[in-house]
Structure 1
Amino acid sequence: MPRTVWMLVVARAINRLGAFSLPFLTVLIGTEFGAGTTTAGLVSAGFGLATIPSRVAGGRLAGRIGRRRTIVLGLVGCALAQLGIAAAGSLAAVAVFAVLLGLSFELYEPPSQALIADAVGPADRVRAYGALNAALAVGGTGSGLIAAGLGRWDLRWLFVVDALTCLACALTLRLALPADGPRGPGGVPDDGHGDGGHDGGPVRPWRDRGLWAMFASGTAFALVSLHIVMALPLTLGHRGLEPADAGLLFTASAVTVVAAQPALRLRRLAALPDPAAMALGHALLAAGLAGYAAARTLPAFLAATAVLSVGEVLVLGRVLGVVAGLAPPGGTDRYLAAYGISWGVATVAAPVTATQLLERAGAGALWAGTAVLCLVLAAAQPLVVGPLTRGLPVRPGAGAPAA
């Protein structure tokens, strides 16, 4: 794959090595400041709400100031906000820095995902995004162990180490990525023809019915993923286990993702159509979440984590390629930014839904309900993704999408 892809992969592994602080934000609020579960959930929801304009800004800034500058700006902003959380002396200060973290958190994603989509052909996007997910997992194998150790000592150090890895990632990409080129009038890279590289006028992703379909499915998938991130440490505490052991479970998930990469190249699995592969991934997620509902020991949680992690590999390896395929030439930044808002919506909802279900219905009901949602998503994939990948028209006046 092109050098740009590998640089993003390496830098993301560096960044992921320290990306373990967010799951422990609610724990920090409760243990350091004596806040209740509901208050902790609301602060985390404030972070999530701020990620929505952050994702939109990431797509727009990539068009205005360049992709490399946007990536560096987002990573430095995350580092400063995390250092603020680590040094905060009051719950109000934590809440302010959590919102600032959210405003910086998603600036990175649209330009980095668009760089990958534009650097490789449509046939290689699944492999390229798979390499990016594997890099995140490699970094995650170390991050979970660091979290398990530092979490027992002082939760604030989780945010300090996370900030340092953000700065290291920013420096790596500032030096390694090619300089930003001139931008066309539509906010897309100029291809030298004076039209911004896009012959169809301004890029308006929200007018694409195919993107809306992917957005709805992606929001539900993101809600499931963030339930795992935010509720797992709390669930361990509710069941008499050490909340910091969630770091071990995140490490187990990362190891599973890395180990599953060769399986993705098996002929039968690679030949599966996108709807079938994504339906299988959601079904495996449901099985793993059902395991969480029944688990009472750390080995049981580990087994469930391995199953659901394979499901996440199947879904994440396909979904970004489908969305990038919907975008017109030069429009990948805006399309991926628009789709990524689904994670912002879920980041707002997940702290509230997870903590409320956990408090009012218990851990078993939380994970059982999330498993049912995954089964619904599995059944919906042929209806949502099938028309897009079969080349049916998905927006007025449009032909078959590139996917």
Structure 2
Amino acid sequence: MSVASMRRATRESVSGLPREFWWLWTSTLVNRLGAFVATFMALYLTLDRGYSASYAGLVASLHGLGGVVSSLGAGVMADRLGRRPTLLISQSATAASVALLGFMHHPVAIAGVAFLVGMASNASRPAVQAMMADIVKPEDRVRAFSLNYWAINLGFAISSMAAGFIAEYSYLAGFLGEAVMTLACAVVVFLKLPESRPTQARDAAGKSTEPRVGMGAVLRDGRFMSLVGLSFVVALIFQQGYVGLPVAMGTDGFTSADFGLAIAINGVLIVALQIPVTRYIEHRDPRRLLIISSLLAGSGFGLTAFAGSIAVYAMTVCVWSLAEIVNAPTQTGLVVRLSPVHGRGRYQGMYTMSWSAAALVAPLMAGFLIDRYGAEWLWGACAVLGTVAAGGYWLLMRGLPAEEGLGAEEAMVASPAAAVVSVRKKKGRAGVSA
């Protein structure tokens, strides 16, 4: 591909999205650039504080449990208070709790604050995804979610390298650095992002004429809850790249540096391929994409059972990384498609919870299977789960009506931010593209 073709492809991938999306994208990138706690918590507790690996695992589990607890509450907040207030509360609380964690010394205090960090940091996800769905046209949502996922991985890749050097100097500096970057996200949200929560039609008495979407309605939505269950299964597979893979490689005699080299391929591929792959899959059948990505994820981890060298491990990482690139934006777009306009926060909160729950269960699953039966059983289980998920997506998507875009008038009723974009287009000044 020529340089001109690459430039044209990049321009087409990022064009046509509203200015509000790019500020939200910037907030996501800044947030991930400051990531430190999730990456270096285990090393901080074992090397710097001298605690056992078991205690470090307990703290990591409490951090994940905090995310599970906050996911649903944050989704309700995003619908009731609004996306913008939820983001500001979450990011401010994250900055305060991360900074506080750096000064904690007692094991009980560290565990308690880690739980709070998990709650605060995960509370922003439902609001971000709901706001993105509010301000981006239906036909552009897969591309928007893909670009946001790309920003997450780009920021994480850069922060992981930088945080390694910071950790050699001072772990406290890393905690405080993440707090500052998270506060910077809150500033971006406060200054640049308008509230996007869709407005509800009301009668003469000021009461809403539309049905209320509570958590009970979410739980009774059989198709959506099936998607949440499938999301949990897929997330359980992907999590093994960070909990099962390092243990299995260590058991085979490979070093932590070898694991770092293998897993680094995941981030490199996502940064390099996310945008071009999204251009290919953007308007294709989501059922086929989810089925293929599930089979790729299962087979990628399943092939790990035959790995005996770094090269083979790297090849398996390539396979399931491609599955991740396809699955993430497609599945997030499907969540929005199944969500009622006035319940997007709650639906996104339930979806986020499936990933948080998988982060809790995956280490237990890996530890049990590897200790009792060997790593080959873990990789075989991943292959089976991938096949089960593919079959589940095939059943779930049968009879799903095609998604239709919002008209201009409907968009103006649904979302204040969408109304702004619509007015700009009418004046010949479409939303700024990167």
Task: Judge which range, 341-350 or 161-170, deviates more.
Answer: 161-170
Aligned partner of 2:256 among 233, 243, 259: 243
Partner of 1:74: 90
Unaligned regions of 5+ residues in structure 2, if any?
1-16, 404-434
Aligned partners of 2:287 and 2:299: how far apart in 1?
A: 19
Q: CA deviation at 1:210?
A: 1.2
Aligned partners of 2:209 and 2:233: how far apart in 1?
A: 32
Amino acid at match of 2:181: T
Q: CA deviation at 1:30?
A: 3.8
| Equivalent pair of 2:20/2:135 in contact (CA under 8 Å) | yes
Aligned partners of 2:374 and 2:52: how far apart in 1?
A: 16
Aligned partners of 2:370 and 2:52: how far apart in 1?
A: 13
Aligned partners of 2:326 and 2:87: how far apart in 1?
A: 27
Aligned partner of 1:87 among 87, 98, 103: 103
| Equivalent pair of 1:143/1:251 in contact (CA under 8 Å) | no
Q: In structure 2, do the counterparts of structure 1 residues 85 and 299 end up closer, same or farther at CA, with 3 Å as the change threshold?
A: farther
Q: In structure 2, do the counterparts of structure 1 residues 362 and 8 end up closer, same or farther at CA, with 3 Å as the change threshold?
A: farther
Aligned partner of 2:231 among 198, 203, 218: 218
Q: In structure 2, do the counterparts of structure 1 residues 329 and 263 end up closer, same or farther at CA, with 3 Å as the change threshold?
A: closer
| Equivalent pair of 2:150/2:270 in contact (CA under 8 Å) | yes
Q: What's the TM-score once normalised by structure 2's chain length?
A: 0.77
Correspondence list, 1:7-46, <5 A? 7-32=23-48, 35-46=51-62
Q: In structure 2, do the counterparts of structure 1 residues 298 and 160 end up closer, same or farther at CA, with 3 Å as the change threshold?
A: farther
1:262 aligns with 2:276: yes
| Equivalent pair of 1:148/1:246 in contact (CA under 8 Å) | no
Aligned partner of 2:211 among 176, 200, 204: 200
| Equivalent pair of 1:80/1:163 in contact (CA under 8 Å) | yes
1:2 aligns with 2:18: yes
Q: In structure 2, do the counterparts of structure 1 residues 32 and 79 end up closer, same or farther at CA, with 3 Å as the change threshold?
A: same
Partner of 1:381: 393
Q: How many residues are paired up?
A: 382
Q: What's the TM-score once normalised by structure 1's chain length?
A: 0.83
Unaligned regions of 5+ residues in structure 1, if any?
182-187, 392-403
Aligned partners of 1:244 and 1:92: how far apart in 2?
A: 32
Q: In structure 2, do the counterparts of structure 1 residues 240 and 73 end up closer, same or farther at CA, with 3 Å as the change threshold?
A: farther
The CA deviation string for residues 221-264 of structure 1, in whole angstroms up to 9 with x for no partner, is: 22223332344455554454453665555543222123222133
Is the partner of 1:331 in helix, strand or coil?
A: helix
Partner of 2:129: 113
Aligned partners of 1:198 and 1:330: how far apart in 2?
A: 12
| Equivalent pair of 2:241/2:263 in contact (CA under 8 Å) | no
Task: Judge which range, 229-238 or 257-266, deviates more.
Answer: 229-238
Correspondence list, 1:280-359, <5 A? 280-359=292-371
| Equivalent pair of 2:79/2:342 in contact (CA under 8 Å) | no
Q: CA deviation at 1:132?
A: 0.9
Amino acid at match of 1:264: T
| Bigger radius of gyration among the two | 2
Alpha-carbon RMSD across the aligned residues, in angstroms, is 3.0
Partner of 1:135: 151
Aligned partners of 2:101 and 2:251: how far apart in 1?
A: 25
